[in-house]
């Protein structure tokens, strides 16, 4: 009996210890719950302050980037404007084109207007060389027509064109030829008077065999490498293989009225009699360069005629005016120094971009404007390389009896100018990115960005329609109209319909059935459907961004744009000595006060308050000063996060209530055990069950805490 009482006493002692531990656990649980609630609030406040500070720092960083970019843009525009401020290149090129390309044939040769660009066959080209070309280049026809050439700097001299430019080196007349091939046709070669055919030009079929007539033989000539030339039919030709050089001025013994003793004129006529151009000719070149002393520029001139397998000549021209030596004046040298500083900034931008790519990988290009920025940097380096090649390709000697090859250098300069034009467009376009903190620019850039995914599909539809239309127009009108002769020409011509440039009358004349049919169907698809879809895409994107902006404005949600504006206003403009605190700040405050006191603003504020009250919008970040991005996705994500937080808090409340009930039940069992010393076995089992339930509730509560903490992060 004594042992039983001792065991019961021992059991009661153990139960008291366990009950005391459970009470301590209960107290600890209450403390943990209280700490959790307070830590959650403190964490929200800390995150709010951290987010606000991060936006402040980002605003300052954006402002610094903006200032750096505007300095870079100022240097770039200074370099570009200095190179394009003068119209000397245009006027000099215009003089050459008007005096050579637009000079009419003499009335003895034709009764209609005829010039170089309307030359259609070999005979007319010979007439052009012997009459308009010779008269303008060698007989002072491009200036005052005085062939006596009086001495003195005030008068036109031999070898000058337009009175302002001297022809450098000789004038090269050349050609490319193809080898004759046996004709493969349905007609038997024995039935043909000429069984030999001359195919399209290619390097594999090119002929370098000597040829000539009247005991004159023309042999292939060697020339320095020069860039390929693309004709109007989109065929690619290298430099001429056979060439004849003409002096850059006529003989001093030439009688310009009777053409006697005129060596250049006789050499041009010799080309006709010796049949320098024949059926094997595929490309004709007339190349020369003219140097303008006044503007220190060179015009590289090429008259090009193409003789295809279809017969006849297609005349075109290529006049490139460039400045080969950019260190002639002090202004040029200052521009070079400024351009060197510009490329220091470009190197800095490239280094920064490489660091971001190395750190973030392809995710770097998810940031708006990153791709175009990197393309702009690459184009700047391309311009630098082309400018170096243009300088390296310049000739070092200028013999008057040889053709001087300025074409390579001029081609590199032309490519550099073309790429620089893209740089200008991209650089100016980036202004919208840095000014996006202003509402107007922000809505504009966001509209274009949000419309891109819809525009991509629309552009694919346009490309399909243009391709199908090009095929149809080429088949229907390719034999009658030049701008539909090949697929690429048809594509370019049909693109003009976007600017409403479409000649329906010529298609009607070419085909009276298909002309009106294609015109109506194509115009209906492109103008009435595609163009309206294009407008609708931008309109929908604009309305969505406008609504997002107004919604964020009504909620008074901060944005990076507001931070940038405030930083510019309070830390820069208002900090200007004397004018900032005494002029700009009072002016801004008066304007702000006057706007808040207008009836329209008061009516707008009351309307916003009613809207906010009726919709029961609760925004935690507003009370905490949290700055969030102003867009629909961010607002929706914030709402979802708030709902999840509310659900977690609700679960925590339910668990705490269950915990309180469980603790009260444990207290009841303990009180019953203290009153009844016997029959304690079932109560102890019940106590253990409640304790196990308490442990499960604590584990569930810890899971809720972890879930809440992960969502807060």
- pTM: predicted TM-score of the whole model, two decimal places: 0.68
**Which residue would you say has higher pLDDT here, 300 or 111?**
300
Q: What's the confidence (pLDDT) of residue 428?
A: 86
Say if residue 299 is in the same domain as residue 444: no
Last residue of a domain, one of 554, 573, 592: 573
Q: What is the mean pLDDT of residues 622-644?
A: 50
Percent of the chain with pLDDT over 90: 23
> DSSP letters along 536-553, please?
HHHHHHHHHHHHHHHHHH
What are the distances in angstroms from CA 268 to CA 263, 479, 691? 9, 35, 117
What's the whole-number mean pLDDT along residues 313-320?
92
**Phi-psi label, residue 457: left if phi above 0, alpha if psi -120 to 50, beta otherwise:** alpha
Whether the predicted pLDDT of 297 surpasses 70: yes
Q: Per residue in 486-529, pLDDT tens?
A: 888 888 888 877 777 777 788 888 888 888 888 888 877 777 78
Q: Give the Cα separation of 52 and 628 in Å (integer).
A: 9
108 and 234 inside one domain: yes
pLDDT value for 621: 38
Asked if residue 599 belongs to a domain, the reply is no
Q: Do 223 and 231 meet the contact criterion of CB atoms below 8 Å apart? A: no
* Residues 438, 596: Cα–Cα separation, whole Å: 20
The reply to whether 687 falls in a domain is: no
Does some domain include residue 50?
no
In a domain, 604, yes or no: no
Structure tokens at 331: 């202004």
Q: What six digits make up the tokens of 195?
A: 């069984």
Q: Which runs of consecutive H residues, i.e. helices, occur in 598-631?
A: 599-615, 620-624
Closest C-alpha to 225, from 209, 238, 211:
238
**Closest CA relative to residue 195, chosen from 182, 178, 180:** 182
Last residue of a domain, one of 268, 301, 322: 322
Evaluate whether 225 touches 240 at the Cβ level (below 8 Å). Answer: no
Whether residue 216 is contained in a domain is answered as yes
Q: What is the CA radius of gyration of the chain?
A: 43
Fill in the DSSP letter of residue 206.
B
**Is residue 610's pLDDT more than 50?**
no
Structure tokens of 148? 């006596």
What's 502's domain CATH number? Answer: 1.10.287
Domain count, the chain: 2
Q: Does the pLDDT of residue 5 top 60, yes or no?
A: no
* Residues 290 and 142 both lie in one domain: yes
Distance (Å, rounded) from C-alpha 642 to C-alpha 619? 8
How, if at all, do strands 297-306 and 314-322 pair?
Answer: antiparallel
Residue 176 pairs with which residues in a beta bridge?
283
Contact predicate 294/309, CB 8 Å: no
Domain-embedded: residue 591: no
pLDDT value of position 48 = 53
- Last residue of one domain, picked from the residues 526, 551, 573: 573
Residue 692 lies in a domain: no
Most confident of 20-29, 426-435, 459-468, 595-604: 459-468
How far is Cα 321 from Cα 92, in angstroms, rounded to an integer? 8
Provide the pLDDT for residue 617.
39
**Same domain flag for 172 and 301:** yes
Q: Vertex 607, ends 601 and 611: CA angle to 5°?
A: 145
Residue 654 domain-assigned (yes or no):
no
Shared domain for 316 and 450, answered yes or no, is no
CA 545/CA 537 separation, integer angstroms: 12
Indicate whether 334 pLDDT > 90: no
Query: Range of 274's domain?
Result: 87-147+156-183+193-322
Whether residues 317 and 445 share a domain: the answer is no
- pLDDT tier at 22, thresholds 50, 70, 90: low
Run of H or E including 168: strand 165-177
């Amino acid at each position: 009996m004594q042992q039983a009482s001792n065991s019961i006493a021992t059991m009661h002692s153990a139960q008291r210890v366990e009950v005391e531990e459970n009470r301590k656990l209960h107290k600890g649980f209450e403390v943990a719950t209280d700490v959790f609630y307070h830590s959650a609030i403190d964490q929200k406040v800390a995150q709010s302050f951290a987010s606000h500070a991060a936006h402040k720092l980002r605003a300052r960083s954006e402002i610094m980037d903006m200032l750096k970019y505007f300095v870079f843009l100022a240097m770039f525009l200074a370099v570009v404007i200095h190179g394009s401020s003068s119209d000397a290149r245009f006027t000099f090129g215009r003089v050459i084109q008007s005096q050579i390309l637009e000079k009419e044939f003499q009335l003895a040769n034709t009764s209609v207007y005829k010039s170089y660009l309307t030359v259609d066959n070999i005979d007319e080209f010979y007439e052009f060389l012997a009459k308009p070309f010779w008269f303008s280049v060698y007989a002072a026809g491009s200036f005052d027509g005085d062939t006596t050439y009086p001495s003195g700097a005030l008068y036109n001299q031999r070898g000058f064109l337009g009175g302002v430019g001297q022809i450098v080196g000789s004038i090269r007349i050349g050609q490319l030829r193809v080898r004759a091939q046996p004709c493969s046709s349905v007609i038997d070669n024995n039935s043909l008077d000429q069984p030999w055919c001359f195919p399209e030009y290619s390097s594999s079929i090119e002929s370098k065999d000597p040829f000539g007539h009247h005991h004159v033989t023309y042999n292939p000539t060697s020339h320095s490498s020069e860039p390929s030339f693309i004709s109007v039919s989109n065929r690619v030709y290298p430099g001429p293989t056979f060439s004849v050089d003409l002096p850059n001025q006529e003989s001093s013994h030439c009688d310009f009225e009777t053409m006697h003793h005129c060596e250049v004129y006789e050499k041009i006529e010799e080309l006709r009699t010796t049949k320098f151009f024949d059926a094997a000719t595929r490309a004709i070149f007339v190349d020369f360069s003219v140097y303008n002393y006044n503007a220190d520029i060179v015009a590289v001139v090429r008259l090009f005629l193409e003789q295809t397998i279809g017969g006849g000549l297609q005349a075109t021209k290529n006049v490139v005016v460039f400045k080969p030596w950019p260190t002639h004046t002090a202004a040029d040298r200052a521009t070079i120094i400024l351009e060197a500083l510009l490329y220091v900034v470009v190197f800095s931008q490239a280094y920064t971009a490489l660091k971001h790519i190395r750190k973030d990988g392809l995710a770097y290009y998810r940031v708006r404007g990153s791709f175009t920025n990197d393309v702009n940097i690459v184009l700047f380096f391309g311009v630098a390389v082309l400018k170096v090649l243009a300088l390296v390709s310049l000739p070092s000697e200028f013999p008057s009896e040889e053709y001087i090859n300025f074409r390579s250098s001029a081609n590199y300069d032309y490519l550099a100018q073309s790429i620089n034009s893209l740089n200008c467009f991209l650089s100016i376009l980036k202004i919208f990115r840095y000014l996006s903190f202003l509402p107007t620019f922000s809505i504009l850039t966001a509209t274009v960005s949000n419309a891109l995914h819809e525009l991509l599909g629309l552009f694919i539809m346009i490309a399909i329609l243009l391709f199908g239309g090009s095929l149809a127009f080429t088949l229907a009108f390719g034999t009658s109209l030049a701008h539909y002769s090949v697929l690429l020409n048809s594509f370019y011509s049909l693109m003009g319909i976007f600017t409403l440039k479409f000649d329906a009358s010529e298609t009607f004349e070419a085909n009276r059935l298909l002309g009106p049919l294609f015109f109506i169907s194509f115009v209906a698809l492109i103008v009435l459907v595609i163009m309206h879809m294009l407008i609708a895409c931008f309109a929908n994107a604009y309305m969505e961004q406008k609504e997002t902006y107004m919604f964020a404005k009504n909620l008074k949600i901060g944005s990076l744009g507001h931070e940038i504006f405030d930083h510019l206003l309070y830390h820069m403009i208002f900090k200007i000595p004397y004018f900032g605190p005494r002029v700009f700040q009072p002016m801004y405050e008066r304007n702000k006060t006057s706007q808040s006191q207008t009836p329209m603003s008061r009516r707008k504020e009351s309307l916003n308050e009613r809207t906010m009250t009726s919709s029961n919008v609760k925004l935690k970040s507003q009370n905490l000063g949290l700055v969030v991005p102003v867009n629909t996705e961010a607002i929706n994500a914030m709402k979802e996060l708030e709902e999840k937080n509310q659900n977690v808090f609700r679960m925590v409340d339910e668990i705490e209530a269950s915990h309180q009930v469980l603790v009260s039940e444990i207290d009841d069992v303990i009180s019953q055990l203290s009153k009844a010393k016997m029959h304690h076995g079932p109560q102890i089992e019940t106590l253990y069950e409640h304790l196990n339930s308490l442990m499960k509730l604590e584990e569930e509560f810890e899971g809720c805490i972890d879930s809440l903490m992960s969502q807060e992060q």
